[in-house]
Amino acid sequence: MAQSTTGKCRFCQAPLEQTFVDLGMSPLCQDHIKPEELNRMEPFYPLHAYVCENCFLVQLEEFVAPSAIFNDYAYFSSYSDSWLQHVKRYTEQMIGKFPINSKSLVAEMASNDGYLLQYFAEKGIPVLGIEPAANVAEHAISKRGIRTETKFFGLNTAKEMTSKYGKADLLIGNNVLAHVPDINDFVSGMKAFLAPQGLITMEFPHLLRLVERNQFDTIYHEHFSYLSFTTVEKIFQYHGLALFDVEELPTHGGSIRIYGKHIEDSSKEVSFRVTELLKREHVAGMSSISFYKDFEERVRTTKRKILEFLISAKADGKKIAGYGAPGKGNTLLNYCGIRTDFIDYTVDRNPHKQGNFLPGTLIPIYEPAMIRETKPDYVFILPWNLKEEIMETMSFIQEWGGKFVIPIPELKIYDPLWLIHRFKKAS
Ligand SMILES: [Zn+2]
């Protein structure tokens, strides 16, 4: 039993002594290596997730300050079509369900390049983005005309924003709660920034799904906390906020969208979905330590299966290319020890990533056209959460008998011919 070096739960301060999964040493997943940096030393940090025995928050220790991680972030949200469709639907749903209009303030924490706020702005609703990565915030302002403050969100920023813009009627945080090292400062900031009858929505990957679907590769340094609905409810409650609804979403392999309000606000009814999900998490075993302790052995089994496939494919002389350069890919490749000995290269639609190399494994990143040029036998899909979209666009690999490999939850090979047949039937 290895105790963490800081030793304390980031939420409740209880001693942190139980391992959830130890994925060894890994570089920061967004630190893509430029060609001129190839011979430099790379920093590796422990990727060891612990679970708090008191509040069951699964967490990594903070080794690198978020300012070092997020100041020049290569991830632009807008590059995935399905994600844009998802947030557009969200915008319509919120405007339909809640009194959000030209007199409201819609604020988003970690607003990225304005990918979401653009849909509120085009309906004439005042928006405010709060985004720590300067290059991304600049893009939101100059390319989309989205009012954006370059800042990390927390209690201080909340006070500053309130005095500058007033309180937020809708406060949005998608895939950010897990990324904040000081979760108490962040949630108390939301309490301070929220209008008396305002609402908060947040989306984050659901820990129940991570465990059920073996998504160990979604663990990386930028992602400090892994959240169940039960634990998030405790954290909100502690800061004077209540959860009044929850939805389960297919995004990022299984996320939840929570709806929060002030505890004092009695204008919103509490949905049956809140008690239902709390109960389901309890029944799944999330209130007992064994649920968390059994995970590591499953992860090791998955690693062995992925390596068995790669070794036998290479022994048969097959060519394997990757698809995508997401954070999760770097965890998987570094943990399994997969380099150019197995995967020749990967491709990514994001031009900011092309021409660089994946951290740690130094697998080169090219533009997607490379797949057609080199005709690999297998395309190994790293962002498995987007597998349908990717397999559909890349289905042309069947012209030379190419197949797709999806590593998670269990390694599976897909034949595009079979997929084309299925798409035809569906349409
Ligand atoms: Zn705790």
* Per-residue model confidence (pLDDT) at position 64: 73
Please tell me the distance between residue 15's alpha carbon and the centre of ligand 1 in angstroms: 8
| HSE value, Cβ hemisphere, 13 Å, CA-based, for 200 | 31
Please tell me the distance between residue 416's alpha carbon and the centre of ligand 1 in angstroms: 46
Please tell me the distance between residue 16's alpha carbon and the centre of ligand 1 in angstroms: 8
CB under 8 Å to 59, separation ≥6 — which residues?
9, 10, 16, 49, 50, 51, 52, 224, 225, 226
Please tell me the distance between residue 13's alpha carbon and the centre of ligand 1 in angstroms: 6
Please tell me the distance between residue 156's alpha carbon and the centre of ligand 1 in angstroms: 24
* Per-residue model confidence (pLDDT) at position 70: 60
Helices (H), 179-257: 183-193, 207-212, 229-238
Is the C-alpha dihedral spanning 209, 211, 217, 220 positive or negative?
Answer: positive
Please tell me the distance between residue 285's alpha carbon and the centre of ligand 1 in angstroms: 17
Please tell me the distance between residue 229's alpha carbon and the centre of ligand 1 in angstroms: 14
Of 390, 278, 267, 374, the residue nearest 323 (C-alpha): 390
| HSE value, Cβ hemisphere, 13 Å, CA-based, for 201 | 19
Please tell me the distance between residue 292's alpha carbon and the centre of ligand 1 in angstroms: 14
Please tell me the distance between residue 177's alpha carbon and the centre of ligand 1 in angstroms: 15
Please tell me the distance between residue 233's alpha carbon and the centre of ligand 1 in angstroms: 13
Please tell me the distance between residue 160's alpha carbon and the centre of ligand 1 in angstroms: 29
* Per-residue model confidence (pLDDT) at position 29: 78
Query: Which parts of the chain sit beneath pLDDT 50?
Result: 1-3
Please tell me the distance between residue 190's alpha carbon and the centre of ligand 1 in angstroms: 20
Please tell me the distance between residue 228's alpha carbon and the centre of ligand 1 in angstroms: 12
Q: Is 246 exposed, middle or buried (0-12, 13-18, 19+ CB in 10 A)?
A: buried
Please tell me the distance between residue 234's alpha carbon and the centre of ligand 1 in angstroms: 10
Whether the CB-CB separation of 320 and 344 falls below 8 Å is answered with yes
Whether the CB-CB separation of 273 and 259 falls below 8 Å is answered with no
Rounded distance, CA 84 to CA 336, Å? 32
* Per-residue model confidence (pLDDT) at position 1: 41
* Per-residue model confidence (pLDDT) at position 69: 64
